[in-house]
Amino acid sequence: MNKIFSNIMLFAAGVLSMTSCSDDRDSNPTLLQPTEFKLNAPSVANGTVDLSRTESINLTWSQPQYTADNAPVIATYYVQVSTKGTFEKVYDIAAEDNTGADYVTLEETTTECKTGILATSLAKALQQLNVWEENAVPGKVELSIRLKAAVIDAGMNAFGEVVSNVIKINAIPYYVELKDADPDWWYLIGGDIADGKWADDVPTSLFPMQPQKDYEFDKKTGDGELVWTGYLAGNGFKLKKAPGDWDHQWGMNGSDFVENDGGSGNITMAPGYYTVTLNTGKHELKVEPYAESVTTRAQMYILGDFNGWSQDTPMNPVTTVAGADNHDWWIEMELPAGGVKFNQGDWDFNIGGPVTTLSDGFYGYGTHNGENITIETAGKYLIILNDITGYYRFILK
C-alpha cells in the first residue's frame, strides 16, 4: 500500500497545476489517498426503468478528495453494475469461465463527474451476469450500481483507486445475444486494388482484408491480425479503416509504413505476389513477397443446394486493373439455408470447410475437397472468395 500511495503522489504531482520548483513549496497542495466519494441517486431511483424503451440513465457524483484542499485532479471513472448487490468478482470477457462473477465494469469511461449509462450496456451486463435463456428473462430485477475512480498514468497504470457508495434501481431487462467482438476490419484501396479507382465501393474498389487464419482476436476490441494475399502491379495502394474514413489510414513515408499520416504516400511495390499483414492491436504493417506457387484461374463458381449443385452461377473477378492477375471473387445473391461450395467449373479444384460466425454473417478458410459450407440463415449475402488462401466471407446484407 505504501508503494501504491507513493506512486499516486508522484503521478498526481504531474497532473495538478503546481507551482514551479523555484516558488514557495508551501503553496503546493497536500496529496491524499481518497477513501470515499458520493454517487448521487438518479431521478429514476424511485421508479422502474424499462431498458428496451430507455436510451440512457443519467448519473452524477462528487469528486474524490485527492488533495487536502480539493485541488483538481484528473480521475477516470468506471461504472460497475451488480444484480446480487455484491462486488466481489468482476466479469472478465476474456475468461473461459465466469462462474461466480457478481458484477460487470461497463466499457464506457469518463473523466467528468457525470455520465449517461446506455440502457443497451446495462442490458448486456445483466445478460453477462445471469446468462438468461431467451424465454426466461425475468420481468424485473434490482440493480446495484457504484462508481470506481482512479488516476491513470501514461503507461495505463491505475493509482488511488476508490469506490463510491452503492445506489439501487429497478429495471426491466431484455434478452441480449452475447458474442465476441468481430475482427477490427480494415480495407485495401488504390491503383493495385480491385478496379483501381480509389472509390468506396465494396468490394469492387474498396476491398476488405481477411482475419489471419487461426489467430486469437481480442474478444472485447476485435484487435488482431488481418491479411491479404494477391498480385500487386506496382500502381500503389493504401489501407483505410472504413468507407469514407481517411482519418484512419496506412501509407508510406520514404521506406517506412506510417499510420494516420494524411500526407503519406502510396505503398508501392515492384510487380509481383505479396502478403499484406496488418496487426491492429500492435499497429504494425508488413508487405512481404509471397513465395509459394500460384495458379491463375479463369473463373470461379458458387454452387450448392440452392441451384442443384450446377455450374450456372459464376462469380465476378474483383481485380480488374490492367496488368494484374485476379485471385479474389465476389457475388451478391439470395441464398436459402443449406450447403454450398466453390469450384473452378469442375471438381478438380473446389473449396469448402467449416465457418466462424460474425455479427453480420460468417467466414472460413476452405480447403480442396473440404466439407460443404453450411448456410444457417437464409438471406441476401455479399460473398467474397480468395482462391489462393481459400478464404471466404459471407456478409449478410
Q: How do residues 248-259 score in pLDDT, each as one tens digit? A: 999 999 999 999
Task: Give how far Cα 388 sits from Cα of 130, 178, 191, 338, 385, Å.
Answer: 44, 33, 21, 25, 9
- The residues of the chain scoring below 70 in pLDDT are 1-29
**Could you give the CA distance from residue 283 to residue 242 in angstroms, rounded to a whole number?**
16
Q: What is the pTM of this model?
A: 0.65
Pick the CATH number of 301-396 from 2.60.40.3620, 2.130.10.10, 3.40.50.300, 3.30.413.10: 2.60.40.3620
CATH code 2.60.40.3620 region(s) in the chain: 301-396
Pick the CATH number of 187-289 from 1.10.1760, 3.30.110, 1.10.1060, 2.60.40: 2.60.40
Which helix (DSSP H) or strand (DSSP E) does residue 10 occupy? helix 2-15
pLDDT reported for residue 1: 36
pLDDT reported for residue 27: 54
Task: Give how far Cα 213 sits from Cα of 182, 229, 323, 328, 330, Å.
Answer: 14, 12, 29, 17, 20
Q: Which residues contact 155 (CB under 8 A, 6 or more apart)?
A: none
For residue 6 the three cell numbers come to 507513493
Largest CA distance in the chain: 87
pLDDT reported for residue 2: 36
Contact indicator for 12, 73 with CB cutoff of 8 Å: yes
Which helix (DSSP H) or strand (DSSP E) does residue 395 occupy? strand 391-396
Q: What are phi and psi of 187, to 5 degrees?
A: -130, 155
Look up the CATH number of domain 2-172: 2.60.40.10
| Measured distance between the N- and C-terminal CA atoms of the chain, rounded to whole angstroms | 54
**Could you give the CA distance from residue 240 to residue 226 in angstroms, rounded to a whole number?**
13
Q: How many CA atoms lie within 13 A of 281 on its CB side?
A: 13
